[in-house]
């Protein structure tokens, strides 16, 4: 397999509170296709074996994954894939059904590239570390990475902010956990605490400065907060599926700002400044930020009603 690169859209950073809830941590990358001879030369030294094929999905590995593991994982991938499709209602299903490759790699190989749990490539390959096989969290990792691949196919590699892409990816984790009835209280509480600890300054950077945004440690959770803000505070119950319309409009040539405005009937600039003001106003009462959102249920009311210092998340 040739891997050409590589312009990262995200998120595989070592410092985060999600280390202990690592399934919820976004450890994915979307790597765009441009020539990168170095990476290509390195990738050419490994040979992927095709372990299993089913329709548009293939499972490959350069390491010691077995055909039996591949068959079992393919079932999970297809289930997560269908779930993501059912949430997003993509307009162009044919475009979605292009070749999809699950690449299982050893932890040593993942660690060599300083990757986290998983990452996605623009060519429809998503790479997952083998130690996740057998871990229930792998289902949610699939939903997250496949969400990125579907979104990428819809926006065709054009410019969409990192926070919006990751907000969508993390929302796939949340919704798929609900669907599978997986207990996500620990991860949900951790995310709620990050939301309560977000500063207006960092969120301004995340929402307005693409270059700096990807280096902000709370970018993914800020993206999740952004979606919840639309859903709950702006009273848009279908805020998540509408993200799909934003991706599609960008794929058809609109700017993100235009696509956002057309889809949500809101000015992006006004929404961003409203969110920043909201964070300023709730600085002393951060529990207010998650009130009415799905993250409220994950936090015991005592924790949620503490002050910013008591409810902060950075050191937990
Ligand atoms: Zn991600």
State whether 307 and 169 are in the same domain: yes
Does the residue 9 lie in any domain? Answer: no
Centre of ligand 1 to C-alpha 119, Å, is: 7
Centre of ligand 1 to C-alpha 284, Å, is: 30
Provide φ and ψ at 112, rounded to 5°. Answer: -55, -40
State whether 25 and 130 are in the same domain: yes
Centre of ligand 1 to C-alpha 263, Å, is: 22
State whether 120 and 244 are in the same domain: no
State whether 179 and 113 are in the same domain: no
Centre of ligand 1 to C-alpha 153, Å, is: 15
Q: Which residue, among 165, 289, 191, 279, has the nearest Cα to 233 in the 3D structure?
A: 289
Centre of ligand 1 to C-alpha 143, Å, is: 10
Does the residue 264 lie in any domain? Answer: yes
Centre of ligand 1 to C-alpha 302, Å, is: 31
Q: What angle do CA 81, 87, 92 make, to 5 degrees?
A: 75
Neighbouring-strand partners of residue 121: 31
DSSP, collapsed to helix, strand or coil, labels residue 254 as coil
Both tokens of 263, joined, read: 């889809």
State whether 125 and 209 are in the same domain: no
Task: Report the CATH number at residue 96.
Answer: 3.30.2010.30
Centre of ligand 1 to C-alpha 86, Å, is: 19
Does the residue 270 lie in any domain? Answer: yes
Q: Is the Cβ–Cβ distance between 204 and 276 less than 8 Å? A: yes
State whether 145 and 174 are in the same domain: no
C-alpha 87/C-alpha 240 separation (Å) is: 8
Give the other-Cβ count within 10 Å of 109's Cβ. 18
Centre of ligand 1 to C-alpha 306, Å, is: 30
State whether 199 and 295 are in the same domain: yes
Domain of residue 225: give its range: 162-311
Centre of ligand 1 to C-alpha 29, Å, is: 6
pLDDT at 115: 84
State whether 167 and 286 are in the same domain: yes
Tell me which of 155, 174, 205 is where a domain ends.
155
State whether 174 and 118 are in the same domain: no
Does the residue 1 lie in any domain? Answer: no
Centre of ligand 1 to C-alpha 37, Å, is: 25
pLDDT at 301: 64
Centre of ligand 1 to C-alpha 141, Å, is: 9
The burial of 142, by beta-carbon neighbours within 10 Å (0-12 exposed, 13-18 middle, 19 or more buried), is given as buried
State whether 71 and 136 are in the same domain: yes
pLDDT at 28: 53
pLDDT at 183: 92
State whether 81 and 178 are in the same domain: no
Centre of ligand 1 to C-alpha 148, Å, is: 7
Does the residue 5 lie in any domain? Answer: no
Centre of ligand 1 to C-alpha 79, Å, is: 19
Centre of ligand 1 to C-alpha 232, Å, is: 23
Tell me which of 122, 155, 188 is where a domain ends.
155
Tell me which of 99, 126, 155 is where a domain ends.
155
Centre of ligand 1 to C-alpha 201, Å, is: 23
Give the other-Cβ count within 10 Å of 140's Cβ. 25
State whether 172 and 306 are in the same domain: yes
Does the residue 28 lie in any domain? Answer: yes
Does the residue 129 lie in any domain? Answer: yes
Centre of ligand 1 to C-alpha 120, Å, is: 8
Centre of ligand 1 to C-alpha 25, Å, is: 8
HEC assignment per residue over 125-171: EEEEEHHHCCCCCHHHHHHHHHHHHHHHHHHCCCCCCHHHHHHHHHH
Does the residue 52 lie in any domain? Answer: yes
Centre of ligand 1 to C-alpha 307, Å, is: 30
Strand ranges of the sheet holding 100-105, from the earlier edge strand across to the other edge: 30-31, 118-121, 125-129, 100-105, 57-61, 49-54
Centre of ligand 1 to C-alpha 139, Å, is: 14
HEC assignment per residue over 159-192: CCCHHHHHHHHHHHHHHHHHHHCCCCHHHHHHHH
Centre of ligand 1 to C-alpha 172, Å, is: 10
Name the domain count of the chain: 2
Across the 316 residues of the chain, what is the mean pLDDT of every consecutive 10-residue run?
32 31 41 36 68 97 96 98 98 94 96 90 95 95 97 96 98 97 93 97 98 95 98 97 98 98 98 98 94 89 46 28
CB proximity list for 35: less than 8 A, separation 6 or greater: 4, 5
Give the other-Cβ count within 10 Å of 212's Cβ. 12
């Amino acid at each position: 397999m040739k891997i050409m690169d590589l312009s990262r859209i995200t998120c595989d950073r070592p410092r985060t509170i999600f280390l202990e809830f690592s399934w919820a941590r976004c450890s994915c990358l979307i790597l765009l296709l441009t020539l990168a001879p170095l990476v290509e030369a390195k990738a050419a030294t490994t040979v992927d074996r095709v372990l299993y094929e089913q329709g548009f999905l293939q499972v490959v590995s350069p390491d010691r994954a077995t055909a039996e593991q591949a068959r079992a994982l393919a079932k999970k991938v297809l289930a997560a894939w269908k779930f993501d499709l059912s949430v997003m209602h993509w307009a162009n299903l044919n475009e979605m059904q292009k070749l999809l490759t699950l690449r299982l790699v050893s932890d040593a190989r993942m660690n060599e590239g300083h990757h986290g749990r998983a990452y996605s490539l623009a060519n429809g390959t998503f790479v997952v570390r083998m130690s996740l096989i057998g871990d229930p969290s792998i289902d949610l990792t699939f939903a997250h990475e496949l969400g990125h691949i579907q979104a990428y196919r819809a926006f065709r590699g054009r410019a969409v902010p990192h926070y919006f892409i990751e907000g969508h990816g993390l929302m796939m984790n949340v919704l798929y956990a609900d669907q599978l009835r997986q207990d996500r209280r620990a991860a949900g509480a951790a995310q709620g605490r990050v939301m309560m600890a977000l500063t207006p300054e960092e969120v301004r950077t995340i929402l307005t400065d693409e270059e700096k945004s990807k280096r902000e440690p709370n970018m993914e959770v800020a993206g999740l907060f952004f979606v919840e803000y639309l859903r709950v505070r702006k009273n848009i119950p279908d805020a998540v599926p509408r993200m799909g319309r934003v991706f599609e409009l960008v794929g058809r040539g609109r700017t993100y700002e235009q696509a956002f405005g057309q889809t949500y009937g809101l000015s992006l600039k006004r929404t961003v400044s409203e969110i920043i003001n909201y964070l300023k106003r709730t600085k002393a009462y951060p529990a207010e930020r998650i009130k009415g959102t799905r993250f409220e249920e994950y936090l015991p009311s005592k924790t949620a009603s503490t002050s910013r210092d008591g409810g902060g998340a950075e050191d937990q």
